[in-house]
Amino acid sequence: MNKSIYSLVLSDDVVDAVDALARTEGMSRSAMINRILAERVAYTTPEMRLRDILQSLARSMNGEFMLAEPPTGSTLSARTSLKYRYKPTVKYSVEIYSENGKRAGELRVSFRTQNAQLIADLMGFFRCWAALEQKYIADKLSNDIVYTISDGRFERTLNMPRDRITDDDLGTAVAEYMAMFDGAMKAYFAELPDAETAALTVGEYYRTEISKQSVIV
C-alpha cells in the first residue's frame, strides 16, 4: 500500500490522546492515526489484516502451545515441549506476509541443542514430514512448498489456498497446521529408536489428520 506525507491541523489534546494510545500499542503516531482513520472509513489496511490473522491464529492454537509473547507486527512466537530425555523446548515462529499473493507466510521450527542424536532424530522426522507433504498435498496448493532443513531447524513456506478465504479462516488454518506438525513429531519420537516404525506411525497419523483439514496451507 502506497503512503504519502500529508499536512493536517489537529488539536493538541487529540494528538496527546493519540500518542498515549500509540504507546500502549507499541506504534508510532502516524501508524496509530492511519489505523484510526482506516477503522472509521471501514478500510482494511495490510497492518490490520496481519493483526486479524495473528489474533485468529493465537485464539485457535491448542493447549499444547504456549505463546512466547503476544503477537507483534507480522510475527507470532510459541513453544511446546518434546518428550525426549531432557524434554527439549520446541520453538515455533510464524511470519505472515502483508501482501496478498500465493504465499501466506512462513513457519519456522527450531531447537537449541547440540545433542547429536537429537539432531539426527529431528532430521529424520523433518525429511519424513516433507516427503508426506509432497506425496499428499503438493498438487493441491497454489504454489510449490519451499523447505529449508538444517541441524535442529525446519522452515516451510505457507501457501494461500486456491479458494478465497477470510483472514480469520487463514489464521485458524495455520494453527491447525502447527498442531498437526507438532502432533506428528511427538508421535514420531514416541516410536524411537525404531525409525522405521516411527515413519510408518507418522504416515498413518498424517493421512488421518490431513483428511480433517478444510483449508490446506
Cα 51 to Cα 54, 87, 120, 171, distances in angstroms: 5, 32, 37, 10
How far apart are alpha carbons 76 and 95 in whole angstroms?
7
Nearest to 96, CA basis, from 1, 182, 180, 171: 171
How far lies 168's CA from each of 53, 75, 119, 172, 190, in Å? 6, 16, 35, 6, 33
pLDDT at 202 (0 to 100): 97
Q: Is the pLDDT of residue 42 over 70?
A: no
Which sign does the torsion angle of CA 182, 187, 191, 197 carry? negative
User: Percentage of the chain surpassing pLDDT 70?
Assistant: 96
Residues 118-165 pLDDT 10s? 999 999 999 999 999 999 998 888 788 999 999 889 999 999 887 888
Q: Let me know the angle formed at the C-alpha of 10 by 4 and 15, rounded to the nearest 5 degrees.
A: 95
Q: What percent of the chain has pLDDT over 90?
A: 52
Mean pLDDT of 102-109: 91
Cell, residue 173 = 488454518
Separation CA 74–CA 87 (nearest Å): 29
What is the CATH T-level fold of the domain 46-210, as seen in this structure? Answer: Yope Regulator; Chain: A, (3.30.1460)
Residue 108 has pLDDT above 90, yes or no: yes
Q: What is the pLDDT of residue 128?
A: 97
Helix (H) or strand (E) holding 134: helix 116-136
What are the boundaries of each domain within the chain?
Answer: 9-43, 46-210
Cα separation, 55 vs 70, in Å, equals 9
Bigger pLDDT: 74 vs 108: 108
Whether the pLDDT of residue 12 is over 90: the answer is: no
**Residue 50 carries which side chain, given as an amino acid letter?**
L
Flag whether pLDDT at 206 surpasses 90.
yes
Is the model more confident about 191 or about 161?
A: 191
Strand partners of residue 89: 81
Q: What is the pLDDT of residue 1?
A: 58
Q: Is residue 44 predicted with pLDDT exceeding 70? A: no
DSSP state, residue 160: P
Stretch 103-115: mean pLDDT: 91
pLDDT score for 94: 96
Tens digit of each residue's pLDDT (9 = 90 or more) over 65-98: 999 877 777 899 999 999 887 788 999 999 998 7
